[in-house]
Structure 1
Amino acid sequence: MIKVGIVGGTGKLGKDIIKLLSDQTDILIGAVIARKGNPFVGNDLGSLIDGLFPNILIEDNIPDSINKCDIYIDCTSAEAMMSNYDAYRLANKPVIIATTGFNAEDIERLSTLSSSIPIVICPNFSIGVFKFLKLIKLAATEFGMNSDIDIFEYHHKYKKDKPSGTAIAIAHSIKDTGLEDPINIHSVRSGNIIGEHSVMFTTNDNERIEIAHKIYSREGFSKGVIETIKWISSKQAGLYGIEDIYE
C-alpha cells in the first residue's frame, strides 16, 4: 500500500489526480496540503471534491503530514515548490514534481536535494507524450536540418505557464539532435482544452511534415500517474525524468 500526499491538492491538477486515485486499492491519499491562507484548509476533502475522502482534512503544513505519506506529488508552481524545499528535505520522502517553470538555479537545487531522496520531474503524465517525444527526435534528425521548426501547444484558459512544460521538453528533444534555434513555440490558452501539442517541419522544398499528440480526456493521464507513483516508490535517491520511467 502506497500513501500519497498531494501538495497543491485544491488546484485543478491536484483535484484531477485525487479523482484519478479515488478508485485505486493499492494507492491511498494520505494527505492533501494547500498553501497557508487557502480557504479550504481545515475542511474535509469531500467538501471540495464530489464527496470523495470525507475523512481527510485539508492541511497547510507538509511536516505535519510526514507520518501519513510515503511519497509526495507537488502540483503547485515552481515558486511554491521551491518554497517547500526545506520541508521536502526534512520529510525525506520521494517527490513527484508535476509542475514546470524552474530556472537553472532551481534545477541545481533540486539536483542537490535528489542526492538524498528520489525526485522525478514529470510535467506531463501521458505515456503517449513520451512516445511522441521519441518520434519528434527521429523527425528532427531526418528533416530538421533544412526546415523551419514550429511547436504549437493548446491548453485550457486557466493554465498559467506559457509555454507549457511539454512544449519546452519538445524543444529540448529537438536540440538534443544537434539542432539549434530558431525553434518557435506558439501557445494558445482557450476554453477547456486538455492538452494538444504538435510540431511542424517546413522545408524549403515546399513540403511540410507535422506530428501531433492530443489528449481527449484527463483519464489519459491516469495510467501515467499510477505508473509514476509505483515507479518512484522503489527508487534510490536521484533526479529522474519521464524518460527514466518508460524506457
Structure 2
Amino acid sequence: MAKAASSTVPAGSSGTAAAAAGEQQQQKHRVAVAGASGRMGHMLIEAIRASGDCKLTGALDIPASPAIGNDAAAFLGHASGVPVSADIRAGLAHSGVLIDFTRPEGTLAHLRVCRDLGVSAVIGTTGFTDRQKAEVEASARDIAIVMAPNMSVGVNVTLKLLQMAAGALASGYDIEVIETHHRHKVDAPSGTALKMGEVIAHALGRDLKQHAVFSREGITGERDPSAIGFSSIRGGDIVGDHTVLFAGTGERIEITHKAASRSTYAEGSLRAVRFLAGRKSGLFDMFDVLGLR
C-alpha cells in the first residue's frame, strides 16, 4: 500500500498567511462613490464589489435621498458595511479616492472636502462652466484628479480616432457631432460630444468656441466650411450614442460609438482609480490613464 503523502506545515505559517491576507486587504484601493443611490452609483458599487482590488469605503448622496442610512450595497442583496451618508466628510473619512458622476455644484462641494482630507478624485460629471473647471484645476495642485466627460475606454479610443481623422480631413469635409441620450439627461450637448468637438478643433487648429454651431433654425444661409456642428437628441432610456460625420463631396465618413450599458463607464472609472495610486497631485484625463498621448 502506498504511503500517504505528508503535508507538514511549518510552525507559524498560518499566522504568516493571515498576515499576508491582511496586508493584501489593506492594499486594496479604498473607494467612495458619490450619488451612491443613483443609476451610475449602483453600477459603480457593483463594479467595485466585483473587482479584486477595490473596496467600497464610502457612499455619498443628497440629504433628501431615501437611501440615506441604508447599506450602500443593499440593492445587490449584499451587506457592504458602508451606509449611504449625506455627511461628505464622514463619507470620505476612510477613502483614498472618490468617484463622482453627479452634478457640477455637488462635485465641487465634494472636491473641497477631498482637498482637505487628501482624497484623490475621479470625476465623470459634465456641464462645468469655465469658472468651475478652474476650481477643479486649482484643487489638482493639492490632490490627484482624473477628470473626463466620458470614462468609457471605447469612447476614449474613439476620441483618438477622431483626432487622427480630423488631421487627415482638414479641408473639404463638413463636420457634425450628433449625440443621443436618455430623457433624464439634464445638459446638452453631452460632455462627450463637446470633448469630441474640442479634440477635432484642436487637430484642425481651430477654437471650438468660435466655430461651434449648436442650433439652426429658419433661413440660416450656406454652411460655414469651418463650422463644427452639434445636434442633441433626447428620448427613452438610451445610455449614450455619439456619431461624428465628416461629409465631403462624393463621400462621407461616420465614426460612431454606442454604449449599451453604464458598466463601461464604471470599468473605465476603476482604471482611473488604479492610475491615481501613488500620485499626490495633478490633473489627468483618460488619455493619460490609457496611454493615448
Q: TM-score normalised to the size of structure 1?
A: 0.92
For residue 52 of structure 1, report the CA deviation from its aligned partner: 3.0
* Contact map agreement 2:122 2:269 (CA 8 A) in 1: no
- Residue 6 in structure 1 maps to residue 33 in structure 2: yes
* 1:12–1:223 Cα change, 3 Å: closer
What is the aligned counterpart of 1:23 among 38, 50, 71?
A: 50
1:192 aligned counterpart, secondary structure? coil
Are the counterparts in 1 of residues 60 and 84 from structure 2 also a CA contact under 8 Å? yes
Q: Does 1:66 align with 2:92?
A: yes
- The count of corresponding residues between Structure 1 and Structure 2 is 245
The AA in structure 2 aligned to 1:19 is E
Q: 1:201 aligns with which of 243, 246, 260?
A: 246
Instruction: Map 1:30-179 onto structure 2 (within 5 A).
Output: 30-47=57-74, 49-177=75-203, 178-179=205-206
Residue 229 of structure 1 and its aligned partner are, at CA, apart by 1.1
Residues 56, 80 of structure 2: 8 Å contact kept: no
The one-letter code sitting in structure 1 at the alignment partner of 2:35 is G
Residue equivalent to 1:226 = 270
Segment of structure 1 superposing worse, 184-193 or 91-100: 184-193
Q: Find the aligned partners of 2:263 and 2:111 in 1 and give their Cα distance.
A: 30
Three-state SS of the structure 2 residue aligned to 1:84 is helix
Residues 98 and 122 in structure 1, CA contact (< 8 A), matched pair in contact too: yes
**SS at the partner of 1:225?**
helix
Equivalent in the alignment of 2:217: none
Do 2:43 and 2:266's aligned partners in 1 also have CA atoms closer than 8 Å? no
Q: Secondary structure at the match of 1:176?
A: helix
Identity of aligned residues (%): 29
Partners of 1:46 and 1:220 lie apart in 2 by 19
For 1:85 and 1:56, the matched residues in 2 are separated by 20
Task: Using the TM superposition, give the Cα deviation of residue 218 of structure 1 relative to its aligned residue in structure 2, in angstroms.
Answer: 3.1
Q: Do residues 239 (structure 1) and 258 (structure 2) align?
A: no
Distance 2:260 2:67 in 1: 30
Name the amino acid aligned to 1:114: A
Q: Contact (CA 8 Å) 2:36, 2:72: kept in 1 or not? A: no
Distance in 1 separating the partners of 2:126 and 2:106: 11
Task: Identify unmatched segments of 5+ residues in structure 1.
Answer: none
Which residue does 1:212 correspond to in 2? 256
Quote the offset at 1:46 in angstroms. 3.9
Q: 1:104 to 1:19 in 2, by over 3 A?
A: same
CA distance in 1, matches of 2:152, 2:288: 14
Change (3 A) 1:53 1:103: same
For structure 2, the 5+ residue unaligned runs are 1-27, 212-226
Deviations 1:27-52 (A, max 9, x none): 011011111232221122244x2323
SS at match of 1:45: coil
**Higher alpha-carbon Rg:** 2
Query: Which amino acid is 2:198 matched to?
Result: H
Residue 68 of structure 1 aligns to a residue in which SS?
Answer: coil
Q: Distance in 2 between matches of 1:36 and 1:221?
A: 25
Higher fraction of strand: 1
Q: CA deviation at 1:54?
A: 5.0
